[in-house]
Amino acid sequence: MKRKHKRLTFVAIAGVLIAIAAALVLTAFDENIVFFRTPTDIVQNKVKEDQRIRLGGLVEEESVEQGTDGVVNFRVTDTANTVPVYFQGILPDLFREGQGVVAEGKLMNGVFVADEVLAKHDENYMPPEVADAIKDAGQWKGEGQDMNQDNGESSL
């Protein structure tokens, strides 16, 4: 019975130590674990020009301009700030105005030049008729709703 208690205490203490170590490591690498930066980060000059980053946010409504040869210009917003994006290439199926997007590239003269664009979707799943009904009823809050409800830009 004594040995059993000793082992239990040992496992419990080891568990607490591992949890603390993991928390420290994750906090130290916080910047690297973040998959993308927000337009606010860019506007506040937290990102240097020519630094390769991922920019995440929502594709601003009515901002997408399709050019020739797969060139597309759009603006990415986190509802507080907005950054113009230039991209040439194939867009994912989910890319559309009002939806989440993550673009990878560099900031050049105030324009984010992306060489890869990924679509990010939200956690809402529903049939199209239900989505239409919610929109008709004026209850639609779009993706922005989760952004305001939860913890700021991190839950885009």
- What does the binding site for another protein look like in residue numbers (CB under 8 A)? 4, 7-8, 11, 14-15, 18-19, 22, 26, 30, 33-38, 56, 90-95, 99, 102, 116-132, 146, 150-151, 153-156
Nearer to another protein by Cβ, of 32 and 109: the residue is 32
Rounded to 5 degrees, φ, ψ at 114 are -100, 140
Structure tokens at 140: 């639609």
Name the minimum Å distance from CB 119 to another protein: 5
Structure tokens at 114: 């992306």
Q: Would you say 44 and 119 are in contact if contact means Cβ atoms under 8 Å apart?
A: no
Name the minimum Å distance from CB 124 to another protein: 5
Q: Could you tell me where the beta strands, DSSP code E, fall in 1-121?
A: 53-59, 65-66, 71-77, 82-88, 100-108, 111-120
Nearer to another protein by Cβ, of 82 and 100: the residue is 100
Q: Would you say 37 and 81 are in contact if contact means Cβ atoms under 8 Å apart?
A: no
Nearer to another protein by Cβ, of 30 and 69: the residue is 30
Name the minimum Å distance from CB 100 to another protein: 8
Name the minimum Å distance from CB 42 to another protein: 14
Spatial distance between the Cα atoms of 136 and 17, rounded to a whole number of angstroms: 54
Nearer to another protein by Cβ, of 13 and 71: the residue is 13
